[in-house]
Amino acid sequence: MMRRRMTLLTGCTALTLALGATACGGGSPVAAGGGDKALGGQTVTVAGVWTGSEQKNFQKVLDAFSAKTGAKTEFVSTGDNVSTVVGSKIEGGNAPDVVMVPQVGVLQQFAKKGWLTPLSATTEKAVDAGYAPVWKKYGSVDGRLYGLYFKAAHKSTVWYSPDALDQAGVKPPKTYDEMLKAGRTVSDSGLAAFSVAGEDGWTLTDWFENIYLSQAGPEKYDALAAHRLKWTDASVVRALGTLGKLFKDRQLIAGGPKEALNTDFPGSVEKVFGPKPEAGMVYEGDFVAGVAHDQFGKTIGQDADFFPFPAVDGGAAPVVSGGDAAVVLKDGRNAKAGMKLLEYLATPEAAAVWAKAGGFLSPNKKLDLGAYGDDVARATAKSLVGAGDSVRFDMSDQAPAAFGGTKGAGEWKLLQDFLRDPSDPKGTAAKLETAAAKAYQG
C-alpha cells in the first residue's frame, strides 16, 4: 500500500496542478521523448495519487521531459481512489493520457476493461535491459506489457533511533527472534521497543507479508497473493503465530495494543523520532525517512537509520516492495505523446531527476546510485535492485480492494482484530479466508 501510506503522511487533499513547459532547456535530445522539441505544441495529461512533495518532485521529472521535447504537461491528483476517478473521466470523455497506478490489481483491472494501450517496443526494450524480470511481470497482463514501474518502495526496512539502541547496548538484529530479544532489551532501558501504527490496517498487512515471505518462501507467497492457496493453510497460521509473538508481548509495543490501535502511520514515526520519544524502533517502508526528516528534522543516517527486516525461522531475509506504474490510456486525447513520456520515464535520466530531489527509489538498475542524495537512500536502493527477481510486490496491493485495501473491512480489519487479541491465529486465518474468498469471487 505504498500509495495509501504516502498520502497519509502528506495529509494533503487532492489538487489539480497544471504547469506549462519549463523555459530552460539543456542537455542532449532524447529519442524516448521525441528529441529536439518534437512534441512542441502538444500537452500530455498525467493523473496520479501524488500530492504535496511527491507531486512537486514528479513535476520536476515532467518539466525535464518538457524541456527536452517541447511538450507541455498537466498533472491531476486523483486522491486514493484511482479506479473510480479515472473511470469517471473516461466516461465523461476527459480521459488523461497517462495514469500512475499504485496497485497491481488496479493495473490488471484497467487492462481487462480494455482501457490501456500496450507499451511501445522502445519502452519494453528499456524494461528488459534495465529491470529485473519481476517488474515486467507485475506490469504485464496476459503476456502484454502495460505498466512501467517508475517509482518503488522498499517495504522491508525497520527504522530505529541509533541513540536508543546504543543506550540499550544492542546492535541491529539479523533474525526475527533476535529482533524481539533486542526489543526487550530496549524496553528494559526505558523505551518501548516498537511503535506500531495499528490505526492504519495497511501497516499490519506489511508486518504479515514480510514474515510470511521469509518464513513460507516466495512460491507460497505468490500462491497466497493470487488466492491459489487458502488463508487457512498451515503456513498462514504459522506466520500469524509468529506475528503474534510481537502483538501479545506488552513489553514490546508502545502503549500496548490499545494505544497501537489509536496510532496512525505518521504518529508511529513520531513516537520514535519526535520530540518526546516513546519507542526505539518503527517498522515500515523507506518512506519513514521522509517523515523523520521533513517533520522532525532528523538527519538520515545519523539520527535515524534502518536495518533490513530480519529473516524468520531460517528463511531468506524478505524484500517486499510496492510501486507506481505508468500506463497509457487508449482514450487519452494525446496518447501518442503519452507513450513518448513513458519512453522517457524508462530511462535512468528521468529517474535521476527525482532521485536527486529525494523521497524516491527506482527499480531501474541502470540508475547510478550516485544520483541519490544520501547514503541511506543509496543503501535502500541498492538492496531493492540487488534483490533482483526475489522482490515480491505488496500482497494486499495484489488483492481485490474489498479484501486488501478497504478501511474497516477485509484483511485490514481482521489484522487489527488480531492485534487487539492475538490468541487465536487459526481462527483469524479462517476469518481471513472467508473474507478473501468473497472478495476474489466478486
Of the listed ranges 36-50, 138-152, 174-188, the least confidently predicted one is 36-50
Q: What is the pLDDT of residue 36?
A: 61
What is the CATH number assigned to the segment(s) 2-154+322-392?
A: 3.40.190.10
Of residues 236 and 52, more confidence is placed in 236
What value does the mean pLDDT take over residues 213-225? 97
Fold exhibited by the domain 157-318+400-441: D-Maltodextrin-Binding Protein; domain 2 (3.40.190)
Q: Which residues contact 360 (CB under 8 A, 6 or more apart)?
A: 57, 151, 351, 354, 377
Q: Is the pLDDT assigned to residue 2 strictly greater than 90?
A: no
Cα 261 versus chain centre, distance: 22
What value does the mean pLDDT take over residues 130-151? 97
pLDDT digits (tens, 9 = 90+) for 376-406: 999 999 999 999 999 999 999 899 888 998 8
pLDDT band at 23 (very low <50, low <70, confident <90, very high): very low
Q: Is the pLDDT assigned to residue 158 strictly greater than 60?
A: yes
pLDDT band at 428 (very low <50, low <70, confident <90, very high): very high
Q: Which residues contact 411 (CB under 8 A, 6 or more apart)?
A: 201, 205, 396, 399, 403, 404, 432, 435, 436
Q: Is the pLDDT assigned to residue 231 strictly greater than 70?
A: yes
Q: What percent of the chain has pLDDT over 70?
A: 92
Q: Which amino acid is at 15?
A: L
Residues of the chain with CATH 3.40.190.10: 2-154+322-392, 157-318+400-441
What value does the mean pLDDT take over residues 295-318? 96
pLDDT digits (tens, 9 = 90+) for 233-283: 999 999 999 999 999 998 899 999 999 999 999 999 999 999 999 999 999
Average pLDDT, the chain: 91
Q: What is the pLDDT of residue 169?
A: 97
Q: What percent of the chain has pLDDT over 90?
A: 83
Tell me the pTM: 0.84
How far is CA 163 from each of CA 178, 184, 205, rounded to the nearest angstrom? 19, 16, 29
Q: Is the pLDDT assigned to residue 310 strictly greater than 50?
A: yes
Residue 200, all three cell numbers? 492504519
Q: Which residues contact 133 (CB under 8 A, 6 or more apart)?
A: 389
Q: Is the pLDDT assigned to residue 15 strictly greater than 70?
A: no
Residue 91, all three cell numbers? 466516461
Q: Whole-angstrom Cα distance, residue 413 to residue 396?
A: 13
Residue 11, all three cell numbers? 495529509
Q: Could you tell me which of 291, 19, 287 has the C-alpha nearest to residue 155? A: 287
pLDDT digits (tens, 9 = 90+) for 322-357: 999 999 999 999 999 999 999 999 999 999 999 998
Q: Is the pLDDT assigned to residue 429 strictly greater than 80?
A: yes
Q: Is the pLDDT assigned to residue 439 strictly greater than 60?
A: yes
Q: Are 214 and 311 in contact (CB under 8 A)?
A: yes
- Region of 233 please: left (phi>0), alpha (psi -120 to 50) or beta: beta
pLDDT digits (tens, 9 = 90+) for 103-122: 898 899 899 999 999 999 99
pLDDT band at 152 (very low <50, low <70, confident <90, very high): very high
Q: Is the pLDDT assigned to residue 9 strictly greater than 80?
A: no
